[in-house]
Amino acid sequence: MLLSTFAFSLMQLCVKFLSHLPALELVLFRSSISLVLSLVFLRRIGVNPFGNNKKFLILRGVFGVTALSMFFITLQNIPLATAVTLQYLSPVFTAIFAIWMLGERMKPIQWLFFAIAFSGVALIKGFESEVELLYFALGLGSAVFAGLAYNCVRILRNSEHPVVIVFYFPLIATPLMAIASFFIWVTPVGWDWLLILFLGLFTQVGQVYMTKALQAETANKVTSLKYLGTLYALLYGLFIFGETYSLWSIVGISLVLFGVILNIRTKSAV
C-alpha cells in the first residue's frame, strides 16, 4: 500500500501539470494505457481477462470510473493537498460500507474518529477560499465512490487475479470516456504526451499494488495508509506549484489525517 500511495502521488502530479487538458480526456488516456498493459500481462500469464464474478467486477469498474473522474476534476481546480485530502476520506466510507458489504466489525469509538476527520473537512471548506462548493462536493463524491470500489475489490479477493480486477476499470472507462471526450477534446502537444504516458504507468503501478494490498488485508486497515498521499500532495503543492494554505486549512487537513490515523490504530485491534 505504501508503494501504491507513492505511485498515485506521482499520478496526481501529472494530472496537475496537465490542467490545461479536460479531466475526462485524461481519464480516457489513463484508462487506455491501463487497458493495454493489463490485457498484455493477462494474456502473457494465461489468465482469462473477464474473470468469474462479473457482477462485482463491473461494479468495481463503474464505481472506480466515477470516483476517478470526480477526483481528476477536483485536482485540476483546487489546491493539490485539499483535493487529495477530500478524496482520502475514502477510508472512512470504505469502513462504513464494509459493515454491510463485508460484515466487518466497527468499534463505537471509530465513529468519534470519523467525526474528527469530517470536522477537518468542515474547516477546509470554511476557511479555504479557493475551494468552490461544486469542487468540494465532487471531492467528497470521489471519496464515497472510491469506498464502494475498495469494498468490491475485497469481495473479489478470493475469486479474481489482481490484474483482472484492475482490467475492469479501463474496460469500462475507455468507451465511456471516449464518448464524453468527443465533445470536449483538446489535442495534447509536446511534453503533454510524455506526461500522459507517465500518468498511465504510475496509475497502473498504483492500482496493482493497491489491489494486492486489499486482497491481503482488511479493507479498513490498508486503505487508511493512503493518508500519506496528503503529505506528498502538500509538499508538491508548496514547492512545485507555489500553493499556499491558511492556518485553518492546515488544521483541517491535520484533523482529517488525525481521525484516519486513530481509526487505523483502533481497527488493527479489532
DSSP string across 92-118 = HHHHHHHHHHT-----HHHHHHHHHHH
Q: What is the pLDDT of residue 222?
A: 66
pLDDT bin (cut points 50, 70, 90) of residue 128 is: low
Closest among 123, 98, 112, 87 to 220, alpha carbons compared:
98
Please give the grid coordinates belonging to residue 56. Answer: 462485482
d(CA 81, CA 86): 9
pLDDT bin (cut points 50, 70, 90) of residue 269 is: low
Which whole-number Å values give the CA distances from 97 to 5, 14, 126, 141, in the listed order?
Answer: 22, 30, 27, 14
Q: Where are the alpha helices (DSSP H) in the chain?
A: 2-17, 23-45, 54-77, 80-87, 90-101, 108-127, 133-155, 162-182, 192-216, 219-223, 228-239, 247-267
Q: Which residues contact 171 (CB under 8 A, 6 or more apart)?
A: 35, 61
Three-class DSSP category at 26: helix
pTM: 0.83
d(CA 134, CA 68): 16
Q: What is the pLDDT of residue 66?
A: 95
Percent of the chain scored above 70 by pLDDT?
Answer: 91
> What's the rounded mean pLDDT across residues 121-137?
78
For the ranges 9-18, 197-206, 227-236, which has the lowest average pLDDT?
Answer: 227-236
> What's the rounded mean pLDDT across residues 153-175?
88
Q: What is the pLDDT of residue 130?
A: 66
Question: Mean of the per-residue pLDDT values for the chain?
Answer: 85
Most confidently predicted of 36-50, 54-68, 202-216: 54-68
Most confidently predicted of 83-87, 192-196, 245-249: 192-196
Q: Report pLDDT digits (tens) over 66-119.
A: 999 999 999 999 888 888 888 878 878 888 888 888 888 778 888 898 888 888
d(CA 220, CA 50): 27
Q: What is the pLDDT of residue 196?
A: 92
Q: What is the pLDDT of residue 60?
A: 93
d(CA 73, CA 78): 9
Q: What is the pLDDT of residue 261?
A: 75
Q: What is the pLDDT of residue 145?
A: 95
> What's the rounded mean pLDDT across residues 114-132?
79
Reduced 3-state DSSP string for 45-61: HCCCCCCCCHHHHHHHH
